[in-house]
Amino acid sequence: MAKNLHNRAIEPFFCDLLPEVRSVAEGDGIRIFGYWAVFNRLSRELSTDKGVRFVERILPGAFDETDFSDAESRFNHSDYLSSAPNLRYGVDATGAWYEYDHDPHDANHVATLRRIERREIKGSSFQFPPLPKDAFTVSEHAPGVKLRTIIKFPRVLEFGPVITPAYPSSSAFARSLDEAAHQEELALVEQQQLEQQEQEQRQQLKQIRLQQFRALLQ
């Protein structure tokens, strides 16, 4: 039975490699194959609710210890397509892939196949719970643009073909970037305050020395 993914705190990630329709042995129908993640490929530029701009990438090995126990395939993160044992998935040098047997009697399968054939589907996507802080790093990518490098995914919930990219503007990662930007602002303010204090101390020392010099002249 398809699991309900609604009301979960999840993040989506988009891969723009188009799903493929693959023929199998004569009389055995077809299979849908696609990559839902590609290693070392930069995403398009995104932004958080607070305007923090960022791109992201996934490192090889990010799925080595991932929990796929509840994983299933859905179209557009909504319409149920498949789960084990009909759903197969794995990782190769390119990235993470999925494959399921097409059922010509399943309305969602038929609709998805038609969208693939009409090239309405732009790629695949997957969803996962918000990442812990040790699962990624944040660095500078370009002036004003952050880079999130994902080291590991503890758990993946769902993956499948999508019509449009589905990146969140308010997710755990977005909040983490906003917090990082806030920390940078605090550090800048603290630095400015420190410089102001040092300047005031130098001015006070200068006044003390001037007073001592005047006292010697009297």
Decide if 103 contacts 31 (C-beta within 8 A): no
In a domain, 22, yes or no: yes
Into how many domains does the chain fold? 1
In a domain, 216, yes or no: no
In a domain, 93, yes or no: yes
Give the separation between CA 204 and CA 83, rounded to whole angstroms: 73
In a domain, 174, yes or no: yes
Does the pLDDT value for residue 189 go beyond 60? no
Residue burial 187-199, b: 16+ Cβ < 10 Å; e: rest: eeeeeeeeeeeee
In a domain, 79, yes or no: yes
pTM greater than 0.75: no
Mean pLDDT of 47-76: 90
Give per-residue pLDDT as tens, 89-139: 999 999 999 999 999 999 999 999 999 888 888 888 888 988 888 999 999
Q: How far is CA 202 from CA 128, 157, 189, 207, in A?
A: 54, 59, 20, 9
Say what the pLDDT of residue 181 is. Answer: 56
Give the separation between CA 24 and CA 131, rounded to whole angstroms: 37
Say what the pLDDT of residue 83 is. Answer: 93
| Residue numbers of the domain that contains 133 | 11-181
Decide if 30 contacts 117 (C-beta within 8 A): no
On average, the pLDDT of the chain sits at 79
In a domain, 170, yes or no: yes
Q: Express as a percent the part of the chain with pLDDT over 90.
A: 32
In a domain, 71, yes or no: yes
In a domain, 126, yes or no: yes
Query: What does the block give as tokens for 65?
Result: 């210890």
